[in-house]
Structure formats: structure tokens, C-alpha cells
């Protein structure tokens, strides 16, 4: 499984095969999807799951969100960004 990081300053989302120590060290990068962190991990608690992405975020952010909501990763990747927004976009306050 891959790790998905989001830059809180720019909204950029990147997927990497393994945890990236460099991104873990930077305050503006957060893991938004990935396997559970081991208990002895020093980076802090694992996030509960990614928040609903903005409609301006890229497809990778929406795939990560769909996976966190229970959709298989392969299925989420096969859908368009618009389809992911249609399926998972109404769970917030509707401001986007």
C-alpha cells in the first residue's frame, strides 16, 4: 500500500511507496492515507482519515478520501475525479 501526503500550504498531494522521512520531518506535509503507523513510530499518532478534499484538490486527494471511506483503491483510481466528487463530495457542509 502507498502513503499519500498533502502539503497544507499548497494543497499538493503526492503518493509514495514507503514513508518518506523528509516529508515526515516537514510541518506542512501530512499523511492523509496509508497503512497504520507502528506503535513505536515517533511521528505522532496516525491520522483518523483524510478530511474531505476541496473540489480544487487533485484526483489523488479524492482517491485517498474515497479509500478512507471504504472504497477499494483500485475502484477509486478507476473513477474520474468528477465521479469521486459526486460519490463522496456531499459529506461536508457543502461549501466547495
> Which of 17, 22, 49 has the alpha carbon at shortest distance from 36?
49
Residue 60 CB contacts under 8 Å (≥ 6 apart), including other chains: 4, 13, 14, 15
- CB–CB of 81/58 below 8 Å? yes
| pLDDT for the residue 39 | 43
pLDDT single digits (tens) 71-85: 888 988 999 989 988
Going residue by residue through the chain, which has 96 residues, state the pLDDT in tens, using 9 for 90 and above: 788 888 888 888 898 888 888 888 888 888 888 876 444 445 555 455 557 888 888 888 888 888 888 888 898 899 998 998 898 887 544 444
| pLDDT for the residue 80 | 92
| pLDDT for the residue 49 | 55
Amino acid at each position: 500500500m502507498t502513503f499519500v501526503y498533502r502539503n497544507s500550504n499548497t494543497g499538493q498531494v503526492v503518493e509514495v511507496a514507503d514513508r518518506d522521512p523528509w516529508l515526515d520531518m516537514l510541518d506542512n506535509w501530512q499523511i492523509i492515507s496509508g497503512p497504520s503507523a507502528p506503535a513505536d513510530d515517533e511521528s505522532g499518532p496516525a491520522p483518523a482519515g483524510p478530511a474531505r478534499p476541496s473540489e480544487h484538490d487533485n484526483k489523488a486527494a479524492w482517491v485517498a478520501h474515497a479509500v478512507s471511506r471504504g472504497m477499494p483503491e483500485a475502484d477509486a483510481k478507476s473513477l474520474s475525479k468528477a465521479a469521486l466528487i459526486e460519490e463522496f463530495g456531499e459529506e461536508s457542509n457543502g461549501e466547495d
